[in-house]
């Protein structure tokens, strides 16, 4: 009884200590933490352990998120677990998070959820969210203060009931060369009203090959000012009103938070829901979305941008380490490591408890977990080594991730970008090729990986792997990731594990998201490509800005780079062709077809010359596709089609330039795509003249232009020489 | 002492720590409150909170009949260890824990001597012949409780000079705290147990209250001395912002001294700006300068007055970053460099002690804007290691030879005198706050 009394007194004391007038005034803030990213970017590691429990500078990621939520004044957190939910719940139960005063952590578990949208719908059904809440995923690291953002959100909400969400953004310049942010995500375009901070446009999958983005012109009409940013980073921290959950329930097809929900809300002007942004300046926030951001955020943590969530400050779930000065910079050290005298541990390195480092080993810019054994003459650079890893003498690791329990036999080498999943064994002197992922589990079939899930049945988790001894040294360095070979564990003598073949996007894109820095040659390659692009852009601009006379010039040169560069016009042509074919099949009225082509022309920003070219191209294509046995039959078909659709064609032939465009187009077709026409060139030209589609001026000017061209270009001019001759004489007669 | 104690301790040490952590769920909260996240600004507030927490720990601690002091010390150490670990940079926490431990030891000693005195008195009253002893015992009976603090602490210069007879009379008690156990066994027979235990706890809490009072009033006590140091028409230079310095300057101003203050802004937190604002609000002539202008301005300055983060046992000062620069400039121009520090900032450790976390590296975002420099920190290209490093240490170490004078609530002191002052406040046994479970046996 006495003890009880004491406990009560102690609790009272606790209440007194933490009493804070601010806390009492506002209602408790809730948060939803998605402990599942619903992606497969961290495979194969996430087949065995959920992403939120992966160590980030020796602390499971979810601790950073929870510690921040607690410090930011959140009172209740709902942790939504899906893949490996048992592991997450077990971890949380054994951690200190369940015993914090003034901070409640509750878990919600579900197994048949495949997206964030589903998760939020489920939470809505449970009816646990009562007010504004913070929506965050369990892989976010931040040290920002929510107070201001929350206050702004509440004030906006008071004025305008439709302001349902405040999105946290942060300035971060994307690389001009790779077109991706420093966190390895695609360049993000946002249009924000500079006064109200309302988000008007959000595009993270912009097509860079075009070099343009499309804004709805209504945006410009409705808003007095818009600022368009490409240097903002989405922190994936959202302050939401409870309506957000019901919105997800109403729109059952919303799956992805950004791709569906945000974009859906921005496009939907019926309900008029608005999203606002809050930019943070001095504080830090970032989400770990892929291996590159894992690397970058780890380095930010070691460089203390996330202060106070840094290795040498104790927050829940970590053991404080000590900083030691190495040269100019600092290294976080634990007191209980065994380090050989001749080992060199460089700056910005974190080494966990009970790790042993042998003589003459060099470690720099790396994170090493607890209980690792590192032999002598080992080189570790920019790598992330988790707990209980054994690295034998003479291994080399550069920019890799090595999970728990991996054994690297003597002399093994990991090239940049390698990921070794749990308990893999790399054989002696084996060289793992760059960007490969090695796991004890076999790679799931392509069908599986298409699903947006990091979901693996725990029961089937122990795929029986036979420790087949890979044929050693022969395969050294020559490992190709062809699927047939990939499933054989070729990891050197005594190696255990499978090298995954690189799927989706292939090797090409692998360097974008890996832990390794982008190789030099890739960068130069990209910057060269970019220079070309820029030239093209300037070329296009001159073409647009110059007046009619010059168009023919640029058209003449277009023949060369049309195919590879001007995707737009290719798309446009395809669209026009599709429209035309449909019109032919369904007997649509000519007027309607004109209308449709006109709208296409507007949306692709084309001139009427382009339209004429495209329409003519489609007609000719149709003619050639119509079954025919001889050239004369083809000619007949063409004549028929031209007769039927001459009105359509004529509506674009406003001036003589368009007519010349048609001739040039035809010439091009004859040379490239439809060689069957080439013998008929002169005759079809005649037909076109007969039908009043082409005027004689156009044909003559075309002929004049070709006068100075190469011999090869003159083929058709010579073919239709007689016709042209006739035309010239006719005009002279008229005079 | 350790082994002796565990034989007297009914439960054993392992149980003790469990008991301690169970009995004080509030500790966890407080550990949190003290740690970085709900950061209490300023060492004064931290010190006060620590003292208040320890007071509640003591008042809740169930004291066994034997060796109460040991029980209290163990409890305080258990909590203290956690508190220090929660915020190793804030040395004031450790200082207060050690002072509370010292208080417990002292009170125990004074009670013991009182008991011995009582015994002596009764013994003497039987004899009634030895004048010398009689005088001695009357002194202990009447004055020991009050004078315990001065009589029983390890002999400081003052006590040696003032109270020679008393310290001579009880040499065995002042020798070491380890004897307390033997004496408590002795007092077992002599004194009423329950009343004594209550008395010890009561005395300790009283003393801790005094300590809290001292912490609360330290600014005023330091500020009282302001007029002795700041003279008419002087120019004072300070760096950054310190509440102690602020109060000190105000006190001089209130005494109608007219003087000017140069404030170095204290990059990167620029707390000097706040100080300048407050000084101007009180009508002081203030000049704000950059940190880098200190050397240029120092020749016009009559005195440098700064605050400290902590004062180490050797008289060295841990102070906001940039302070060493100011101290060197002051030395170059023979300008007095005065450090103000409340007694809770006196740390019994030496700066070379591995336990002392000399510095705290703060977030680089105080120096530069992450967004503007984000392209410099793209590790995605090149060698993968960033070329730009930003280091933002919070503190500087100023060696004792650069300090002219310390002003604490106990008066002005030379740097070389600090270790004596510290010996008055702390017991040598507590320098390493670690529980017996790990230290002994």
Residue-by-residue DSSP string for A502-563: P-TTHHHHHHHHSSSPBPHHHHHHHHHHHHHHHHHHHHHHHHHHS-HHHHHHHHHHHHHHHH
Q: Give the pLDDT mean for A173-194.
A: 83
A16, A20, A304: best to mutate for the B interface, most B CBs within 10 A: A304
Of the ranges B20-34, B100-114, B200-214, B256-270, which one carries the lowest mean pLDDT score?
Answer: B20-34
Which residues does chain A have within 8 Å of residue B84's beta carbon, measured at their own beta carbons?
none
Which residues does chain A have within 8 Å of residue B28's beta carbon, measured at their own beta carbons?
99-101
Selected residues 42-101 of chain B with any CB under 8 Å from a CB in chain A = 49, 53, 56, 60, 62, 85-86, 88
State how far the Cα of A717 lies from the Cα of A307, in Å rounded to an integer. 75
- Establish whether the linkage from the previous residue to A44 is cis, with ω within 30° of 0: yes
H or E element at residue A107: strand A104-109
pLDDT above 90 (res B233): yes
pLDDT above 60 (res A502): yes
Is the minimum CB–CB distance between B262 and chain A shorter than 8 Å? no
Given this model, what pLDDT does residue B298 score?
A: 95
Which residues does chain B have within 8 Å of residue A326's beta carbon, measured at their own beta carbons?
none
Please give the mean pLDDT across all residues of chain B.
Answer: 75
Q: Are residues A172 and B374, on separate chains, in Cβ contact within 8 Å? A: yes
pLDDT above 70 (res A514): yes
pLDDT above 80 (res B284): yes
Greatest mean pLDDT among A19-23, A258-262, A376-380, B7-11: A376-380
Q: Which of A13, A180, A382 sits opposite B385 (nearest CB)?
A: A382
ipTM above 0.95?
A: no
Quickly count: other Cβ atoms within 10 Å of residue A488's Cβ. 13
Tens of pLDDT along A263-315? 888 887 777 888 999 999 888 999 998 898 999 899 888 888 888 888 877 66
Q: Are residues B33 and A18, on separate chains, in Cβ contact within 8 Å? A: yes
H or E element at residue A350: strand A350-351
Q: Give the pLDDT mean for A90-117.
A: 85
Q: Are residues A7 and B23, on separate chains, in Cβ contact within 8 Å? A: yes
Greatest mean pLDDT among A262-266, B128-132, B329-333, B431-435: B329-333
Å from A237 to nearest chain B CA?
A: 17
CA nearest A512 in B: which residue?
B380
pLDDT above 60 (res A533): yes
Cβ contact B274:B244 at 8 Å: no
Is the minimum CB–CB distance between B21 and chain A shorter than 8 Å? no
- The model's confidence at residue B435, banded by pLDDT at 50, 70 and 90, is low
Which residues does chain B have within 8 Å of residue A523's beta carbon, measured at their own beta carbons?
381
Given this model, what pLDDT does residue B358 score?
A: 65
Of the ranges A404-413, A610-619, B90-99, B330-339, which one carries the lowest mean pLDDT score?
Answer: A610-619
Q: Are residues A17 and B25, on separate chains, in Cβ contact within 8 Å? A: no
Among candidate residues B71, B67, B99, the one with its CA nearest the CA of residue B430: B99
Q: Which of B375, B377, B384 sits opposite A365 (nearest CB)?
A: B384
Q: Give the pLDDT mean for B247-265.
A: 93
Cβ contact A384:A515 at 8 Å: yes
State how far the Cα of A142 lies from the Cα of A308, in Å rounded to an integer. 10
State how far the Cα of B70 lies from the Cα of B78, in Å rounded to an integer. 12
- The model's confidence at residue B176, banded by pLDDT at 50, 70 and 90, is very low
Is the minimum CB–CB distance between B361 and chain A shorter than 8 Å? yes
Given this model, what pLDDT does residue B227 score?
A: 92
Query: In this predicted model, which residue has the larger pLDDT, A444 or A17?
Result: A444
Q: Give the pLDDT mean for B111-118.
A: 76
Six token digits for residue B18: 């469990």
Å from A19 to nearest chain B CA?
A: 11
Q: CB-based contacts of A105: which residues, under 8 Å, 6+ apart?
A: A66, A77, A79, A92, A97, A98
Which residues does chain B have within 8 Å of residue A175's beta carbon, measured at their own beta carbons?
375, 378, 380-381
Which residues does chain A have within 8 Å of residue B35's beta carbon, measured at their own beta carbons?
314-315
pLDDT above 70 (res A472): no
Residue-by-residue DSSP string for B303-354: EEEEE-SEE-TTS-EEEETTHHHHHHHHHHTT--EEEE--GGGB-SS-TT-T
Tens of pLDDT along B362-400? 888 888 888 888 777 776 666 667 778 888 888 999 999
pLDDT above 80 (res B87): no
Given this model, what pLDDT does residue A507 score?
A: 53
CA nearest B86 in A: which residue?
A314
Given this model, what pLDDT does residue A134 score?
A: 93
Tens of pLDDT along A680-701? 777 788 888 887 777 778 888 8
Given this model, what pLDDT does residue A24 score?
A: 40
H or E element at residue A688: helix A681-690
Q: Are residues A173 and B374, on separate chains, in Cβ contact within 8 Å? A: yes
pLDDT above 50 (res A406): yes
Given this model, what pLDDT does residue A402 score?
A: 94
Q: Which of B25, B37, B386 sits opposite A7 (nearest CB)?
A: B25
CA nearest B88 in A: which residue?
A313
Q: Which of B366, B377, B391 sits opposite A182 (nearest CB)?
A: B377
A12, A17, A99, A176: best to mutate for the B interface, most B CBs within 10 A: A17
Q: Give the pLDDT mean for B283-303.
A: 94
Which residues does chain A have within 8 Å of residue B383's beta carbon, measured at their own beta carbons?
382, 517
Which residues does chain B have within 8 Å of residue A282's beta carbon, measured at their own beta carbons?
365-366, 369-370
Q: Give the pLDDT mean for B198-225.
A: 90
Q: Which of A70, A184, A313 sits opposite B380 (nearest CB)?
A: A184
Of the ranges A348-362, A431-445, B329-343, B369-383, which one carries the lowest mean pLDDT score?
Answer: B369-383
Q: Give the pLDDT mean for B149-164.
A: 50
Given this model, what pLDDT does residue A537 score?
A: 53
CA nearest A12 in B: which residue?
B26
Given this model, what pLDDT does residue A659 score?
A: 79
Given this model, what pLDDT does residue A23 score?
A: 41
Å from A16 to nearest chain B CA?
A: 10
Given this model, what pLDDT does residue A520 score?
A: 78
A72, A172, A299: best to mutate for the B interface, most B CBs within 10 A: A172
Six token digits for residue A465: 């792997």
Which residues does chain B have within 8 Å of residue A303's beta carbon, measured at their own beta carbons?
364, 377, 386, 389-390
- The model's confidence at residue B182, banded by pLDDT at 50, 70 and 90, is very low
Given this model, what pLDDT does residue B259 score?
A: 94
Six token digits for residue A7: 């406990």
Q: Give the pLDDT mean for B24-41.
A: 51
Cβ contact B98:B50 at 8 Å: no
Of the ranges A149-158, A165-174, A184-193, B191-200, which one carries the lowest mean pLDDT score?
Answer: B191-200
Query: In this predicted model, which residue has the larger pLDDT, A536 or A727?
Result: A727
Given this model, what pLDDT does residue A534 score?
A: 64
Query: In this predicted model, which residue has the larger pLDDT, B57 or B296?
Result: B296
pLDDT above 70 (res A638): yes
State how far the Cα of A374 lies from the Cα of A394, in Å rounded to an integer. 10
- The model's confidence at residue B118, banded by pLDDT at 50, 70 and 90, is low
Å from B86 to nearest chain A CA?
A: 7
Query: In this predicted model, which residue has the larger pLDDT, B343 or B132?
Result: B343
Given this model, what pLDDT does residue A184 score?
A: 81
User: pTM for this one?
Assistant: 0.70
Cβ contact B57:B76 at 8 Å: yes
Query: In this predicted model, which residue has the larger pLDDT, A327 or A273?
Result: A273
Tens of pLDDT along A221-278? 888 888 888 888 888 999 999 888 888 888 888 888 888 888 888 887 777 888 999 9
Q: Are residues A517 and B381, on separate chains, in Cβ contact within 8 Å? A: yes
CA distances from A444 to A434, A461, A505, A527 (A): 21, 11, 16, 36
The structure tokens 């083809």 sit at A634
Q: Are residues B37 and A516, on separate chains, in Cβ contact within 8 Å? A: no
CA distances from A673 to A573, A609, A620, A669, B237 (A): 14, 20, 11, 5, 85
Question: Among residues of chain A, what percentage have pLDDT more than 70?
Answer: 79
- Using only the alpha carbons of chain B, give its radius of gyration: 25
State how far the Cα of A135 lies from the Cα of A120, in Å rounded to an integer. 10
Is the minimum CB–CB distance between B386 and chain A shorter than 8 Å? yes
A313, A334, A515: best to mutate for the B interface, most B CBs within 10 A: A313
Q: Are residues A303 and B364, on separate chains, in Cβ contact within 8 Å? A: yes
Å from A84 to nearest chain B CA?
A: 30
pLDDT above 70 (res A641): yes
State how far the Cα of A72 lies from the Cα of A95, in Å rounded to an integer. 20
Which residues does chain A have within 8 Å of residue B370's beta carbon, measured at their own beta carbons?
170-172, 281-282, 284, 305
pLDDT above 50 (res A461): no
Is the minimum CB–CB distance between B31 and chain A shorter than 8 Å? no
Tens of pLDDT along A361-386? 998 888 998 889 999 999 998 899 99
Tens of pLDDT along B404-420? 999 998 889 999 999 88
Is the minimum CB–CB distance between B379 and chain A shorter than 8 Å? yes
Please give the mean pLDDT across all residues of chain A.
Answer: 77
Q: Are residues A382 and B384, on separate chains, in Cβ contact within 8 Å? A: yes
Check residue A399 and give left, alpha or beta (phi > 0: left; psi -120 to 50: alpha): left
Q: Which of B60, B62, B364 sits opposite A305 (nearest CB)?
A: B364
Which residues does chain A have within 8 Å of residue B24's beta carbon, measured at their own beta carbons?
10
End-to-end CA distance of chain A: 124
CA nearest B59 in A: which residue?
A6
Q: How many CB pairs under 8 A join A and B?
A: 154
pLDDT above 50 (res A6): no
Q: CB-based contacts of A332: which residues, under 8 Å, 6+ apart?
A: A302, A310, A311, A312, A321, A322, A323, A324, A349, A350, A351
Q: Are residues B379 and A296, on separate chains, in Cβ contact within 8 Å? A: yes
Among candidate residues A382, A364, A370, the one with its CA nearest the CA of residue A337: A370
Q: Which of A292, A328, A520 sits opposite B380 (nearest CB)?
A: A292
Q: Are residues B364 and A364, on separate chains, in Cβ contact within 8 Å? A: no
Q: What burial letters (b/e) apply to B68-77, b meaning 16+ CB within 10 Å?
A: bbbbbbbbbb
Given this model, what pLDDT does residue A210 score?
A: 63
């Amino acid at each position: 009884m006495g003890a009880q009394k004491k406990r009560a007194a102690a609790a009272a004391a606790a209440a007194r200590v933490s009493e804070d007038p601010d806390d009492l005034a506002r209602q408790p803030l809730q948060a939803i933490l998605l402990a599942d990213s619903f992606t497969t970017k961290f495979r194969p590691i996430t087949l065995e352990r959920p992403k939120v429990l992966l160590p980030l500078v020796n602390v499971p990621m979810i601790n950073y998120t929870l510690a921040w939520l607690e410090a930011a004044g959140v009172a209740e957190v709902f942790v939504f677990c899906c893949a490996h939910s048992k592991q997450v719940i077990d971890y949380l139960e054994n951690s200190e998070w369940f015993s914090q005063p003034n901070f409640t952590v509750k878990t919600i578990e579900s197994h048949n959820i495949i997206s964030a949208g589903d998760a939020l719908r489920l939470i809505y059904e449970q009816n646990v969210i009562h007010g504004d809440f913070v929506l965050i995923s369990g892989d976010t690291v931040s040290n920002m203060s929510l107070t201001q953002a929350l206050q702004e959100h509440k004030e906006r909400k008071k004025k305008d009931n439709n302001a349902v969400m405040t999105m946290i953004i942060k300035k971060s310049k994307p690389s001009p060369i790779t077109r991706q942010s420093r966190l390895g995500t695609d360049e993000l375009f946002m249009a924000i009203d500079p006064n109200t901070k309302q988000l008007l446009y959000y595009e993270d999958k912009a097509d860079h090959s075009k070099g343009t983005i499309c804004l709805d012109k209504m945006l410009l009409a409705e808003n007095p000012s818009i600022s368009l940013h490409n240097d903002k980073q989405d922190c994936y921290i959202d302050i939401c009103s409870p309506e957000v959950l019901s919105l997800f329930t109403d729109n059952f097809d919303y799956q992805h938070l950004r791709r569906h929900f945000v974009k859906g809300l921005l496009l939907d002007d019926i309900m008029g829901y608005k999203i606002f942004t809050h930019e943070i300046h001095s504080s830090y926030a970032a989400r770990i979305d892929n291996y590159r951001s894992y690397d970058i955020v780890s380095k930010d943590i070691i460089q203390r941008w996330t202060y106070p969530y840094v290795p040498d400050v104790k927050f829940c779930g970590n053991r404080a380490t000590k900083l030691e000065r190495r040269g100019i910079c600092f290294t976080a050290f634990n007191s209980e490591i065994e380090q050989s005298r001749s080992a060199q541990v460089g700056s910005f390195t974190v080494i966990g408890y009970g790790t042993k480092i042998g003589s003459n080993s060099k470690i720099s810019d790396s994170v090493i977990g607890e209980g690792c054994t590192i032999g002598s003459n080992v080189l570790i650079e920019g790598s992330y080594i988790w707990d209980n890893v054994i690295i034998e003498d003479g291994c080399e690791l550069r920019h890799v991730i090595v999970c728990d329990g991996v054994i690297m036999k003597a002399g093994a080498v990991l090239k940049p970008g390698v990921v070794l999943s749990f308990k893999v064994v790399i054989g002696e002197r084996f060289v793992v090729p760059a960007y490969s992922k090695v796991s004890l589990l076999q790679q799931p079939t392509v069908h599986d990986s298409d699903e947006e899930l990091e979901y693996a049945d725990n029961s089937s988790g122990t795929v029986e792997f036979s420790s087949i001894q890979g044929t050693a040294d022969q395969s050294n360095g020559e490992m190709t990731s062809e699927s047939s070979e990939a499933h054989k564990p070729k990891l050197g003598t005594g190696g255990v594990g499978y090298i995954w073949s690189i799927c989706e996007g292939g090797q090409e894109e692998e360097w974008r998201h890996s832990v390794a820095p982008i190789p030099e040659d890739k960068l130069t390659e990209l910057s060269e490509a970019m220079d070309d692009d820029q030239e093209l852009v300037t070329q296009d601009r001159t073409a647009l800005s110059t007046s009619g006379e010059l168009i023919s010039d640029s058209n003449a040169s277009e023949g060369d780079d049309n195919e590879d560069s001007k995707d737009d016009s290719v798309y446009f042509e395809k669209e026009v062709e599709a429209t035309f074919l449909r019109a032919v099949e369904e007997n649509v009225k000519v007027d309607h077809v004109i209308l449709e082509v006109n709208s296409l022309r507007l949306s692709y920003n084309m001139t009427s010359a382009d339209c004429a070219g495209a329409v003519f191209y489609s007609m000719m294509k149709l003619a050639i596709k119509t079954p025919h046995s001889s050239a004369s039959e083809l000619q007949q078909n063409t004549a028929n089609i031209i007769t039927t659709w001459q009105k359509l064609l004529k509506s674009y032939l406003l001036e003589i330039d368009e007519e010349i465009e048609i001739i040039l187009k035809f010439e091009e077709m004859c040379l490239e795509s439809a060689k069957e026409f080439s013998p008929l060139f002169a005759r079809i030209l005649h037909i076109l003249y007969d039908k009043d589609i082409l005027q004689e001026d156009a044909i003559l000017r075309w002929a004049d232009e070709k006068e100075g061209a190469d011999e090869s270009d003159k083929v058709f001019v010579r073919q239709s020489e007689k016709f042209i001759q006739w035309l010239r004489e006719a005009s002279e007669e008229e005079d | 002492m350790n082994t002796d104690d565990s034989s007297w301790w009914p439960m054993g040490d392992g149980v003790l720590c469990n008991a301690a952590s169970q009995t004080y769920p509030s500790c966890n909260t407080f550990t949190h409150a003290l740690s970085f996240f709900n950061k209490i600004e300023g060492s004064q507030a931290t010190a006060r909170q620590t003292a208040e927490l320890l007071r509640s720990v003591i008042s809740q601690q169930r004291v066994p009949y034997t060796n109460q002091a040991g029980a209290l010390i163990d409890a305080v150490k258990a909590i203290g260890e956690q508190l220090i670990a929660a915020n190793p940079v804030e040395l004031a926490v450790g200082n207060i824990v050690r002072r509370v431990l010292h208080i417990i030891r002292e009170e125990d000693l004074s009670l013991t001597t009182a008991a011995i005195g009582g015994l002596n008195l009764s013994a003497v009253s039987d004899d009634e012949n030895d004048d010398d002893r009689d005088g001695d015992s009357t002194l202990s009976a009447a004055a020991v409780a009050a004078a315990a603090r001065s009589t029983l602490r390890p002999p400081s210069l003052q006590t040696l000079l003032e109270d020679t007879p008393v310290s001579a009379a009880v040499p065995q008690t002042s020798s070491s705290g380890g004897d307390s156990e033997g004496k408590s066994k002795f007092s077992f027979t002599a004194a009423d147990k329950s009343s004594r235990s209550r008395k010890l706890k009561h005395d300790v809490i009283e003393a801790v209250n005094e300590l809290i009072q001292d912490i609360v009033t330290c600014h005023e006590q330091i500020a009282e001395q302001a007029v002795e140091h700041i003279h008419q028409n002087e120019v004072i230079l300070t760096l950054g912002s310190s509440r102690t310095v602020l109060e000190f300057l105000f006190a001089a101003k209130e005494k109608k001294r007219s003087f000017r203050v140069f404030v170095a802004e204290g990059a990167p937190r620029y707390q000097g700006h706040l100080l300048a604002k407050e000084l101007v609000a009180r009508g002081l002539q203030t000049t704000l300068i950059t940190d880098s202008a200190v050397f240029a301005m120092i020749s016009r300055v009559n005195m440098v007055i700064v605050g400290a983060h902590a004062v180490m046992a050797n008289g060295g000062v841990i102070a906001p970053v940039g302070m060493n620069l100011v101290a060197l400039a002051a030395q170059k121009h023979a300008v007095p460099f005065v450090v103000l520090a409340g007694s809770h900032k006196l740390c019994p450790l030496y700066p070379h002690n591995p336990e002392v976390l000399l510095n705290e590296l703060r977030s680089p975002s105080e120096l530069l804007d992450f967004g503007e420099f984000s392209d410099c920190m793209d590790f995605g290209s090149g060698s993968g290691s960033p070329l730009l490093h930003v280091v933002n240490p919070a503190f500087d170490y100023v060696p004792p030879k650069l300090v002219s004078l310390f002003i604490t609530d106990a008066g002005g002191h030379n740097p070389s005198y600090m270790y004596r002052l510290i010996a008055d406040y702390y017991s040598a046994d507590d320098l390493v706050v670690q529980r017996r479970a790990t230290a002994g046996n």
